[in-house]
Amino acid sequence: MRHILLLGGTTEASALATALAARGERAMLSYAGRTEAPRVQAIPTRVGGFGGVEGLAAYMIREGVTHLVDATHPFAARISANAMAAATAAGVPLLALTRPEWVEGPGDRWIRVGNTGEAVARLGFEPTRVFLALGRQTIGDFASAPQHFYLLRFVDAAAPPALPRHHLVVDRGPFTLAGELALLREHRIQMVVAKNAGGSGARAKLDAARELGLPVVMVDRPFIPPRPQVGSVAAVLDWLDHGVVRGV
């Protein structure tokens, strides 16, 4: 019987987990443990790092994993690199389940940057009111620009960040257009900073920014080396059943 290891942490990973459970597949969804109460899944889950490439390869051999699906977030570049190396080392076939980047559309006012460090520079010097929709891990980059007001949104309550003027919202997605419009208006936001995550779970803030005519500093995805990848749960199931990769 095959045994699928699913590296999770995205809406797509959760949808795949539900589909695998419905088929009675033997599968395990893996979380890093970044949040206090990760979503309950339809398949068993494990929480915590593996201990690098070697740890992940050893885990797959020990557990008899037959298929590795990387459905992690496009900014989770390290686990994706580790997954490729560990799959090769352990002789386990790998497939990535990804989602297309968001693209700028009519009415959008995007300022594309390569990383959060560049994003800080694009905020300008004049104090402005910024929705920093990047989560918690990269907030430190903005300590060098304390003159701005930052609206922050974390999944879990955390110690106040070293940003003198901020308001912290504790909420997890997926988010709605109505909710994002209300949030931007309530805090008189003048600019949004976002990662090009893609998918539906976090895109409402972009639609709200467009509707309000706000500029969006959009952080491009980190480079992830080429690997077999698909863009839907159905294509992952095809791969499991027929070894076919119907690319993105």
Cα–Cα dist 60/66, whole Å:
8
Rank residues 198 and 209 by Cβ distance to ligand NAP and give the closer one: 198
Query: Residue 223: what are its φ and ψ, rounded to 5°?
Result: -70, 135
Candidate segments 21-29, 108-116, 132-140, 209-217, binder of ligand 3Y8 by CB under 6 A: 132-140
Q: Pick from 86, 197, 216, 233 the residue near ligand 3Y8 by CB under 6 A.
A: 197
80-119 burial by CB neighbour count: b if 16+ within 10 A, else e?
bbbbbbbbeebebebbbbbbeebeeeeebebeebeebeeb
CB-based burial label for 130 (10 Å; 0-12, 13-18, 19+): buried
Q: Which of 3, 26, 34, 39 binds ligand NAP (CB under 6 A)?
A: 34
Min. distance of Cβ 52 from ligand NAP in angstroms?
A: 4
Among 2, 18, 44, 55, binds ligand NAP (CB under 6 A): 55
78 binds, among ligand NAP, ligand 3Y8, none (CB under 5 to 8 A by kind): ligand NAP
- Give 28's strand partners: 5
Size of the site for ligand NAP (CB under 6 A): 24
Which region among 197-205, 209-217, 220-228, 229-237 touches ligand 3Y8 (by CB under 6 A)?
197-205
The 100-139 site mask, x for binding ligand NAP (CB under 6 A), equals: -----------------------------------x----
Select from ligand NAP, ligand 3Y8, none the partner in contact with residue 98, using the beta carbon and a kind-dependent cut-off of 5 to 8 Å: none
Q: How far apart are CA 217 and CA 122, in angstroms?
A: 8
Q: How far is the CB of 30 from ligand 3Y8 (least distance, A)?
A: 7
The span from the CA of 15 to the CA of 26, in Å, is 16
Residue ranges that bind ligand 3Y8, judged by CB under 6 A:
9-11, 14, 31-35, 38-39, 73, 133-138, 153-156, 172-174, 195, 197, 199, 201-202, 205
